[in-house]
Structure 1
Amino acid sequence: MGTYTKGVVAFGANLPSGDLPPARSVAAAMDLLEARAGVPLTRSRLYRTPAFPPGAGPDFVNAAAALDWAGTPEDLLALLHGVEAAFGRTRTARWEARIMDLDLIALGDTVLPDRATQGQWAALPPDEAARATPDRLILPHPRLAERGFVLVPAADVAPEWRHPVTGRTVAEMATALPAAERAAIRPLDPGDGAP
């Protein structure tokens, strides 16, 4: 039996996938990831969050999951891309409305490709981050600390995960978000199309 590392994955959708509204497609994407990964997921609640950047489209349904992973980070990323593709995801522009989005947020204390590069991507000003796309996997996700739509769900499944560069936990990063941003991220009611 291999060594497992705790991975944290963010899910989001604000467009339907076929007949599935975003709340149902995000839940179905979690099911598919669990089946394909062959390990159980710890799942967050589903949340309704404003589109990012503001005005970029309908509200999103966001969630997070934690899983124990024995493979490489690149293998997990490929698995996530396969789940996205199963729901009809195509990539045409940064921060667009989307059918399905899965992001590998963290894998234990892995830093990729190295601390300096991860730090450079994390320090990019927002306007540059909107235009630039890394040509490789950056871990932890470089915009993690500023994204409430990732941190609030991730706090459901991995509140004590500690960023290997900054030393801050998910719970600490979520608490540091502006109060108005946290308040805009609301758990879905059962009548919102959640399973």
Structure 2
Amino acid sequence: MDRTTALIALGGNLPGPGRTVAQTLVAALAALVREGFGIVAVSRFHRSPAYPAGSGPDYVNACARLQTADLTPAEVLAALHRVEVAFGRNRSTRWAARGLDLDLLAMGDTIAPDAATLAQWIALPPTDQARLAPETLILPHPRLAERAFVLIPLFEIAPRWRHPMLGQSVAEMLAALPAAEKAALSPICAPANGDSMLVKGNTSA
């Protein structure tokens, strides 16, 4: 996978006006197309417990591969934030319940801003993860390898993408997670109105 392809995570656990969380994710994908992205593949939607445990309703999570043309990672992230804002997202509280969350997970083998900073954020203790957020874009996402709700849908669309710092593929990172964490996720159906952009993942990456 080259650096013009972005891997993103989509999620939410609060319904929007007149639509379910799953319908919000579908609408967000359509908004990303209007932002100029090409959607290469989208995972199934999965239901997962809120993180941290007990912090709110269950989430709906998915991952997508986007063609970004010649955008920089910062430009991609800015576009994701624009879509979040359009859907009412307010990033006031860390890990709060939200209607839409769009995270840039990776762009090819890009490490940003540098290997030392990425290693520092990957090693951040759990107590600090809950209260600290980086002031600059970190790629790959420092929590990517730890979260079943990211790796399970990511496996469906990019199982062979390899983490440039850890040297592990998505399949290998997913296999290393505790079985109980993976079992807590369950795939859900497409929205009942049929207006779905869900596609079978392309596993060539």
Q: What residue in structure 1 maps to residue 138 of structure 2?
A: 138
Q: What residue in structure 1 maps to residue 159 of structure 2?
A: 159
How many Å separate the matches in 2 of 1:47 and 1:35? 25
State the secondary structure of the residue aligned to 1:187: strand
TM, length-normalised to structure 1: 0.94
Query: What stretches of structure 2 of length at least 5 have no aligned partner?
Result: 197-205
How many Å separate the matches in 1 of 2:166 and 2:193? 37
Which structure has the highest helix share of the two? 1
Query: Can you list the C-alpha shifts for 1:100-126, whole angstroms capped at 9, x where unaligned?
Result: 000000011110010000000000011
Counterpart contact for 1:7–1:107, Cα < 8 Å: yes
Query: What stretches of structure 1 of length at least 5 have no aligned partner?
Result: none
How many Å separate the matches in 2 of 1:99 and 1:34? 19
Number of aligned residue pairs = 193
State the secondary structure of the residue aligned to 2:39: coil
Counterpart contact for 2:6–2:104, Cα < 8 Å: yes
Q: CA deviation at 1:96?
A: 0.7
Q: CA deviation at 1:17?
A: 1.7
Counterpart contact for 1:4–1:68, Cα < 8 Å: no
User: Superposition RMSD on alpha carbons, in Å?
Assistant: 1.7
State the secondary structure of the residue aligned to 2:29: helix
Identity of aligned residues (%): 51
Counterpart contact for 2:22–2:191, Cα < 8 Å: no
How many Å separate the matches in 2 of 1:183 and 1:189? 17
How many Å separate the matches in 2 of 1:4 and 1:93? 31
How many Å separate the matches in 1 of 2:118 and 2:193? 37
